[in-house]
Amino acid sequence: MFKTSLIAAALLLSGCSQVANTHIEYETVKPDKFPTLIAVGYAPIDLQPGATKQQKMLNAIRASKLDAYRELAEQVYGLQISSQNSLNTYVIGSDKVKARVDGLIKGARVVQSYPMGEVYATELELDTEQLYYINEMQSMPKKVKKITYY
């Protein structure tokens, strides 16, 4: 009985030492498909600050580009929605909804920027294959490449 438990303890300890002496190599997992994301941003020209029509146009160009980047960030990272409302004797007293997006966009390019009547539009494109290669060495999913036991 004592010998059996001693042998079992030795096997358990030797099994643990093999796990501690293991080296695992990983390699990056490349997706099968790379979608291209497209976002369009808009900005009203006449509502922009500026003394002249040209200054208002330049500000609308900038604002439409920022709006397009915001839309692209929503596609990549999602949109956080928070809502709050109050009820007083079963009548809505106030109703508030907030939306927020937070993210870093790399590798996007402006496809077109053009006026559309009273608004200015900017189209952005994000090739996720290019994004994959930009971020490949950072935090991409990995799979086991090789396990070495010592």
Q: What is the pLDDT of residues 100-125, one digit of tens each?
A: 999 889 889 999 999 999 999 999 99
Residue numbers of the domain that contains 117: 30-145
Structure tokens at 111: 């496809």
Number of structural domains (the chain) is 1
Residue 21 lies in a domain: no
Prediction pTM value = 0.67
The Cα–Cα gap between 114 and 123 comes to 9
Residue 13 lies in a domain: no
Predicted local confidence at residue 149, as pLDDT: 84
pLDDT tens track for 40-81: 999 999 999 999 999 999 999 999 999 999 999 999 999 899
The Cα–Cα gap between 44 and 116 comes to 10
Do 78 and 46 form a contact (C-beta atoms < 8 A)? Answer: no
Residue 70 lies in a domain: yes
Residue 17 lies in a domain: no
Residue 71 lies in a domain: yes
Residue 3 lies in a domain: no
